[in-house]
Structure 1
């Protein structure tokens, strides 16, 4: 079996990507963020937000989709310069990596993550960071198997009226 086809996201992919992102939140974050928040996520609003950002340009953000046989969009990743408040560093950041739940464990996420890291290394970034919900054990194991490690940084963000902790992971990139 061959792996997924990775390609740049287009405006035509925005609805599929929104379905994947929202489905990913509803699947992976159940019990970690308030259920009313998850239930209130709206695909059309999210698709419009993605489309607007994609068409406007997002300051170095790269959006990739993974297609499986038959052209189905099975996953999405977004990455670019590391965000440290208002300043940029020479490092990269994986902003998002989401899959349709039925594609978890089939190599789609690994392909997207590997390609994101490869592109960031080729662009001269020495490290790649990402943030993952502290309670999301499956995602943490996935990133650890890919060579990322928690670096001790923890931040919270407000979602649905709750403060949710995230852990920062880092990986040294081969130049």
Structure 2
């Protein structure tokens, strides 16, 4: 089957939604969300524009589905916090580890990136990003509560701020293991806040 025939077959075949999301993920990661047009996503998928808009009526719908897919896949900074095979303290410290996938360029937090590209706090994308960042604090607070912290929300906010800051600096500096600096500060915070660790 020639390349043209294979492409035509893909366009008509099943799995259009998955191909659209995969194409959007690649394009958003390499050139940003706002710089990526819907026609470019359709071409990259490849699907017809009709198929694209049948699955995602607006670009906002596509962006939110992309972010939801990252959450479900465990490909976000916060995903380590729900891993029950790792002790609570180590889950928190893994927020500051090197990303599992060595990609170039180094990417920051996709929720912070999305909120920056959709600065209106009332927009659907910004709202979804905010929900995920609030969820991150809730997950950390639950873990430090389990560890015996008396002021879990304050500590969780401090640790989340460190993790988000480290992810952002890693992206700006192109330094995947930048989180090691924040991890040292996180260890001090945990030692001071948790009973029996000082």
Q: TM-score range by the shorter chain?
A: 0.3 to 0.5
Q: TM-score, normalised by structure 1?
A: 0.34
Q: TM-score, normalised by structure 2?
A: 0.31
Based on CA coordinates, which of the two structures has the bigger radius of gyration? 2
Q: Which has the higher strand share?
A: 1
